[in-house]
């Protein structure tokens, strides 16, 4: 197969832990031709969506890639196109998904589907599954947010466009600094925020449950917060520990997996704390390397096998 990956700059990827690199290596091991497309490498000029694509040799060493050639070609020349650029979801990301939608409409297999990338913000997606969530408020009205915080007593405040734990605050029952946090994070009512009841079980791990091709990966990656830290994200200093899924985690994942696959989601990362669904990550879910290293189950290889059959 010819596989194209829409990626952030290759030199910025941390090969020792990056899931996109793990996918590229798995595909290389299985003999597929690999190409990288930068976000500014998409274009359209009447005859279809085109790409400036770098043909790659991918290795298992620290010096993990070599660009063999750069070609200008139609996206239709690839068997699959995988979108793996990180948030934030800005205007340029939106334009890229619109170009990718045009390609998908002409028959190009784009994963995850551009339409759902646009429609399913990773924080807001849980609104569709409120029965599995802790009390949550999404608003930019400071008074509503203050009332909700007082009702819940201990809350987490998140921006809707962040990743890796960036910009997340915890406010306890004393409400210390709540007004300042709302003013700064909410830009004085111009920015919508998410507020959720704090889940003490986060100390046991913010679990990433992967869905690949409509099936549930049998191991979750529990991100354990560092000492003195509320955020469990690996980018915020958390430690990743692979664990079997609990009965409730399995139940939630089993119900979401076929639904997301039907909507064109090849890879999703469900975030769960204490058995509650907190996010549905579909832009560039991570955790593959840690699961493989600790359990021997290789999510990246499994994903490539799904592509071979799709």
Edge-to-edge strand ranges of the sheet holding 276-281: 239-244, 215-224, 206-212, 267-273, 276-281
φ/ψ region of 164 (left if φ > 0, alpha if ψ in -120 to 50, else beta) reads left
CB 99 within 8 A of CB 81: no
Rounded CA-CA distance 186/285 in Å is: 26
CB 208 within 8 A of CB 220: yes
Rounded CA-CA distance 207/245 in Å is: 9
Which residues are marked as active site? 123, 158, 208, 223, 231, 271, 279, 281
Rounded CA-CA distance 165/186 in Å is: 17
CA dihedral over 119, 123, 124, 130, signed as positive or negative: positive
């Amino acid at each position: 197969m010819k596989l194209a990956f829409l990626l952030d700059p290759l030199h910025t990827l941390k090969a020792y832990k990056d899931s996109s690199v793990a996918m590229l290596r798995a595909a290389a091991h299985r003999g597929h031709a690999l190409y990288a497309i930068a976000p500014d490498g998409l274009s359209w000029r009447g005859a279809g969506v085109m790409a400036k694509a770098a043909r790659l040799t991918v290795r298992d060493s620290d010096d993990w890639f070599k660009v063999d050639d750069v070609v200008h070609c139609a996206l239709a020349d690839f068997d699959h196109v995988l979108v793996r650029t990180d948030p934030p979801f800005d205007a340029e990301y939106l334009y890229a998904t619109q170009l990718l939608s045009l390609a998908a409409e002409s028959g190009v297999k784009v994963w995850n589907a551009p339409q759902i990338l646009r429609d399913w913000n990773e924080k807001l997606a849980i609104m569709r599954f409120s029965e599995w969530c802790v009390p949550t408020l999404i608003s930019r009205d400071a008074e509503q947010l203050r009332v909700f915080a007082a009702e819940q007593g201990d809350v987490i405040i998140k921006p809707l466009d962040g990743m890796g734990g960036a910009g997340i605050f915890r406010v306890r029952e004393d409400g210390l600094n709540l007004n300042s946090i709302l003013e700064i994070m909410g830009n004085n009512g111009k920015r919508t925020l998410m507020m959720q009841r704090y889940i003490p079980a986060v100390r046991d791990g913010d679990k990433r449950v992967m869905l690949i091709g409509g099936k549930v990966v049998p191991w979750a990656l529990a991100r354990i917060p560092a000492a003195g830290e509320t955020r469990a994200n690996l980018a915020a200093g958390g430690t990743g520990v692979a664990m079997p899924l609990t009965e409730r985690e399995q139940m939630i994942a089993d119900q979401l997996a076929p639904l997301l696959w039907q909507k064109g989601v090849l890879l999703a990362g469900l975030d769960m704390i204490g058995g509650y669904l907190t996010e549905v990550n579909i832009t560039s879910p991570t955790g593959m390397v840690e699961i493989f290293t600790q359990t021997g189950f290789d999510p990246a290889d499994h994903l490539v096998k799904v592509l071979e059959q799709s």
